Amino acid sequence: MSDGFVALTKCFYCGGPGDILLNRRPQHPSSVVRQAHGAVINMEPCNECKANMKLGIILIGVDDAKSDPGWNKQRIPNPYRSGLYVVVREEAFRRMIGESPARDYALQHRWMFIDEEAVTALRLREAVEQNNATGT
């Protein structure tokens, strides 16, 4: 809980620490700062996600069936996240995902939501587990 003077936001992509907001009027606690604490306030990546975007495309697993209707029409989209966060090299991403507007968007913006059905079909969870086991 923020005291209205300082808030730590969350990164849209990984959910980790984002920006630090400071109330510039210390004599008046700010409800804006208080509400921003622990929340995603923009789609600016944290430093770790920026570095990951340079390495490849961030894929974020989502479950459309568990998501609220209209999640993709919000200013900051907020689907139900399945827990998958993986960085795929651009060459591999191009082979995995056929030509489409979604692929073009991901290549330009360096991230993409990926439905759990596609995660399963591409065996991404198994690849992540194998990668973690071998340390590569």
Token reading at 96: 């995995």
88-94: Cβ within 8 A, 24+ apart: 88/56, 88/57, 88/59, 89/55, 89/56, 89/57, 90/56, 90/57, 92/56, 93/56, 93/57, 93/59
The alpha carbon of 122 is separated from its chain's Cα centroid by a whole number of angstroms, namely: 19
What's the domain range around 117? 56-134
29 and 62, same domain (yes or no): no
124 and 61, same domain (yes or no): yes
Question: pTM for this structure?
Answer: 0.84
Q: What is the pLDDT of residues 68-125, one digit of tens each?
A: 888 888 889 989 999 999 999 999 999 999 999 999 999 999 999 999 999 989 888 8
29 and 61, same domain (yes or no): no
83 and 29, same domain (yes or no): no
85 and 114, same domain (yes or no): yes
62 and 127, same domain (yes or no): yes
Kindly state whether residue 48 falls inside one of the protein's structural domains.
no
